Amino acid sequence: MRVLILVAAMVAGLVACNNHRGRESPYSATLTFSLDTVYVDPGDEILFLRDNLFVSDLSPDKRYLINFNRSELVAERIDLDALKLEKKIQFEKEGPERMPVYFSGFRINSEEQFLVWSNQSYGIYDQNAKKVKDLELEKIAADLLGGGETLPMGLFEDPDQPGRLLAVIMQWKEEDYFVLDVDLSTRSFQKIALPELAPLKDYSMEILYDGQFMGSFGVGVYPVAGKDKIILANNSINESLVFDTNTGGIRVVRWNTPLLGERRGYLPPAQVEETSGAKEEIIKRSREDIFYGRLIWDDSHERFFRFSIKEQFGQEKNEYGQYTPMGAEVCLSIFDENLDLLAESLVPELKAPPKKHFVKDGKIWIFENIADEMAFIRLNVE
């Protein structure tokens, strides 16, 4: 194993910001960032980096990371304390233990099992590649999930009510969101609509091919579990929706700050024809505007971090006709557990959109592929 330490310190002035109650924040000070970079020792194996850790999750105790190669159904268990590959876990593609290929996402639960979801399959697997339970949500809520026209964004177990699951679902064609509250013991459920997310449609662009719907671009919704709540951040409006898992109540926390404003300024057209040649220019303009990131929890300091990005492009295109990124302006926001904004600052040391990132030991770990090696830039905020 080798560890490369690159330390850079910088001081950034914080801006006075408005919090979600509409009053001006009195918080004004300076932030100090320090960076170092560490490498993961793969031993004699080759780690799967092609998806930039897109399908990965941190263990509840923050000791290890599971990185999935979905096409091969192999889970890589990375020891984050020792910075080395512990083992690879091979899952089955067929038979009673099968895991769906190219599933949407997964979460490591408190029993260190994998809670896995796709648009027509929901199950729990252990780390010996055995299927612990078929949750059968697509059968319990067949009218909502059985047709394959939904996309699960996240699946959460209620730690205080065994057998209760909460799924955040998008109906992908209509771009409507809802929470599915499921009681596995009675095989019953309740659908809770989320009309508060409807304004996001203004930032979504349908992609057509010869007039047929092929997909969409522009909107991202990022659910994360908190104590007695699920928080849904998004990339287009400077706000988060908070769903109370006890009462079912919903509130929206909004911010409007000098650095990030209250929402994205550029509205893409509602539709674009793939063959028109206009799509890449629209995507470029959209990515040059602000994209708000996901919330990540720092349990050692009881605070949330969030990166927001404005990308920079030249006029060159790659072999796929896409504009080549030249860099990015990265901003870090810090919130307390109630989502009151504490600080917001540019991070000049970060020159590109952070890939997969999480908090461990009070530092933000940002994945980076360096010469085909798994590395993490660790950002310390003081």
Given this model, what pLDDT does residue 306 score? 98
Given this model, what pLDDT does residue 30 score? 60
pLDDT under 70: residue ranges of the chain: 1-30
Given this model, what pLDDT does residue 7 score? 33
Q: How far apart are CA 300 and CA 79, in angstroms?
A: 19
Given this model, what pLDDT does residue 31 score? 77
Given this model, what pLDDT does residue 308 score? 98
Given this model, what pLDDT does residue 94 score? 95
Given this model, what pLDDT does residue 172 score? 85
Given this model, what pLDDT does residue 32 score? 84
